[in-house]
Amino acid sequence: MTNPINSYLTRGAKSNAHAAFLKRHRTRNFVIRLVQIALFIAFILFWELGANYRLIDPLLFSQPSKIWAMFAEMLLKGNLHNHITVTVIETIVGFILGTVFGTAIAIAIWWSPFLSKVLDPYLVVLNGMPKVALGPTFIVAFGGGYGGIIAMAIAISIIITTIVVYTSFREVDSNLIKLAQTFGANQRQIFGKIVLPASFPTIISTLKVNVGLAWVGVIVGEFLVSKQGLGYLIIYGFQVFNLTLVFVSLFIIAICASLMYQGVAALESKLLKNRE
Amino acid sequence: MKNNPIISFNQVSKTYITLDGETEALKDVNFTVGEGEFVALLGPSGCGKTTILSLLAGLILPTSGSIFIRNKKVETPSREIGYMLQQDYLLSWRTIRHNIMLGLEISKQNGKESYQYALDLLDEMELSAFKDHYPNQLSGGMRQRVALVRTLATRPDILLLDEPFSALDYTTRLRLEDLVIETLKKRRKTALLVTHDIAEAIAMADRIIIMDSNPGCIKKTVNLPPSLTKTLPFGSREVPDFQKYFQLIWREMNEND
Ligand SMILES: Nc1ncnc2c1ncn2[C@@H]1O[C@H](COP(=O)(O)OP(=O)(O)O)[C@@H](O)[C@H]1O
Ligand SMILES: [Mg+2]
């Protein structure tokens, strides 16, 4: 009766029905994870073998084994640290500043309904505009170093942050504001004690969106100017037609971006632990 | 009426003006409330009950006429007023302890003694054990008790209650009515309760002001006998006079339609 797999799948069960439910639930989750891994392995195998048998052009798409070998070699030689550090720092600075500035503008607009009405069409237009198109302008204005690249990352996230945060300020229950007013609260107290904390979850969630946007901004910025960073490695790889280098960079970006996203998600659940 | 009213409305009218036009919410409203009195404003929804409370709380200004609290004209929110809204509106991100301090923080009553007073009130409502809980961990009745503590913490002399029990189930509501009356009478607070529930008005109030709508105005004032005012709300519902006054007020409210 008590085989180890069964007792593992039903651990913590409160009754027979609960055990059956847990078993079904856990088996399903296990199968999902299994299929995910299988899909990944199949993809890598197809890529590797396809390149060997020339189904895929290895010059254009490289090959997992080559990518891995180059990654390991560069890592051991210490050729990667610098590029990774530069790009990660630019991204972190970019998404934090984008969120902070965007929130600051949202606060200014909340403070002055007149300003919000005046700026409304400009925000809509700016939000719709592809900010990357302004890349060269930023480089000229803020310099070809970190300045221009970070400006690019900020430009991409700032307007959407402003719009999202301002909307959440406005959607705060007017009864909560009335409550504060019955105690004689002034505008600053209404903001500090009600509106800002009520919108805190939204601000944190824009942080999560901005991580992704900042990556786009930084990589594009590095395409345009830099002499270092993962974006630079990609452009350099294309120029010397070393596609393996391009894929190594993409691989690193994928890992860093996921780690950063997970980090912000963890921060979010920690900060919002006690919210409804 | 007492010689020296704590609240008085003199020929107060209020017209809301919006893009769509005007709404005459109140017209020529006159009434006074004596110190320590518990008055209920009873009327159908839309007759301007909330408008009266907002005017008294200094959140909006009358279109004409004037409102006095202790002979001082009301123009801005004042310390004397405590306002309980239709729902508890506890801040979900604050613990109960910090929720009840909200009014004290805003009005800068930061003294240790004020905080202790609030915590003692919480104890009186038998909620001390929940100090460090968040609002979503409390039941509706408990939350409304916390809201009462938050209102009383700033030590207002006058309490405005805007249908404070309407979101609660019947049993909780009856229990809370008794608790509110006991707490307010003990501290000799003056109270103005807004409701559209005749039974609640009779059970809780010393005097009932019946309102009419379009535009909102006072139709009639009914003084309740000691048999109803000296008993707690739950007990009042058993008193023979209760039915008599219920009939009387019912007829009054449905007269001209
Ligand atoms: N801020 C406002 N702007 C415009 N009209 C309002 C406003 N507040 C209330 N009114 C109108 O005034 C009338 C009285 O409203 P209210 O005082 O809320 O009544 P009650 O509390 O008795 O239901 C209603 O017709 C309502 O639509
Ligand atoms: Mg109302």
Q: Which residues of A touch B91 (CB under 8 A)?
A: 176, 194, 197-198
Q: Which of B51, B54, B87, B214 has most ligand 1 atoms within 8 Å of its beta carbon, as the pocket-test mutant? A: B51
CB contact under 8 A, B93 and A181: no
Question: How close is the Cα of A256 to the center of ligand 1, in Å?
Answer: 55
The per-residue pLDDT for B4 is 79
- pLDDT tens, B115-134? 999 999 999 999 999 999 99
- pLDDT tens, A76-129? 999 899 999 999 999 999 999 999 999 999 999 999 989 999 999 999 999 888
HEC assignment per residue over chain A: CCCHHHHHHCCCCCCHHHHHHHHHHHHHHHHHHHHHHHHHHHHHHHHHHHHHCCCCCHHHHCCHHHHHHHHHHHHHHCCCHHHHHHHHHHHHHHHHHHHHHHHHHHHHHHHCHHHHHHHHHHHHHHHHCCHHHHHHHHHHHHCCCHHHHHHHHHHHHHHHHHHHHHHHHHCCCHHHHHHHHHCCCCHHHHHHHHHHHHHHHHHHHHHHHHHHHHHHHHHHHHHHCCCCCHHHHHHHHHHCCCHHHHHHHHHHHHHHHHHHHHHHHHHHHHHCCCCC
Residue A198 is encoded by which pair of tokens?
């009520």
The per-residue pLDDT for B2 is 46
Q: Which residues of A touch B83 (CB under 8 A)?
A: 179, 182
Query: Is residue B246 over pLDDT 90?
Result: yes
CB contact under 8 A, B93 and A200: yes
| DSSP 8-state symbol, B135 | G
The per-residue pLDDT for B41 is 96
Across residues A234-257, what is the average pLDDT?
A: 94
Query: Is residue B3 over pLDDT 80?
Result: no
Q: What predicted TM-score, i.e. pTM, was given to this entire model? A: 0.86
* CATH, residue B32: 3.40.50.300
Question: How close is the Cα of B25 to the center of ligand 1, in Å?
Answer: 6
The per-residue pLDDT for A111 is 94
Query: Is residue B255 over pLDDT 90?
Result: no
Which of B:143-172 have CB within 8 Å of A? 154
pLDDT band at A137 (very low <50, low <70, confident <90, very high): confident
Q: How many CB atoms lie within 10 A of CB A56?
A: 17
Closest Cβ–Cβ partner in A179, A185, A274 for B89: A179
- pLDDT tens, A50-67? 999 999 999 899 999 999
The per-residue pLDDT for B1 is 45
Q: Residue B4 and residue B7: Cα distance in Å, rounded?
A: 9
Question: How close is the Cα of B226 to the center of ligand 2, in Å?
Answer: 29
pLDDT band at B257 (very low <50, low <70, confident <90, very high): low
Domain annotation covers residue B12: yes
Q: Considering its fold, how many domains does chain B have in total?
A: 1
Closest Cβ–Cβ partner in A175, A183, A198 for B103: A183
Domain annotation covers residue B2: yes
Question: What are the sequence ranges of the domains in chain A?
Answer: 4-56, 64-275
Query: Is residue A274 over pLDDT 70?
Result: no
Across residues B52-58, what is the average pLDDT?
A: 96
Across residues B135-159, what is the average pLDDT?
A: 95
Domain annotation covers residue B182: no
pLDDT band at A276 (very low <50, low <70, confident <90, very high): low
Query: Is residue A219 over pLDDT 50?
Result: yes
User: Domain range holding B66?
Assistant: 1-78+189-249
Amino acid at A185: A
The per-residue pLDDT for B113 is 94
What distance in Å separates residue B229's CA from the closest CA in chain A? 29
Query: Is residue A143 over pLDDT 50?
Result: yes
CA angle B197, B1, B238 (to 5 degrees): 40
Q: Which fold has domain A64-275?
A: MetI-like fold (1.10.3720)
Domain annotation covers residue B111: no
Across residues A236-245, what is the average pLDDT?
A: 94
Q: Is B16 a pocket residue for ligand 1 (Cβ < 6 Å)?
A: yes
Domain annotation covers residue B239: yes
For ligand 1, atom 17, the nearest C-alpha belongs to: B48
Global ipTM: 0.91
Residue with the two structure tokens 């296990």 = A30
Residue B179 is encoded by which pair of tokens?
């608790």
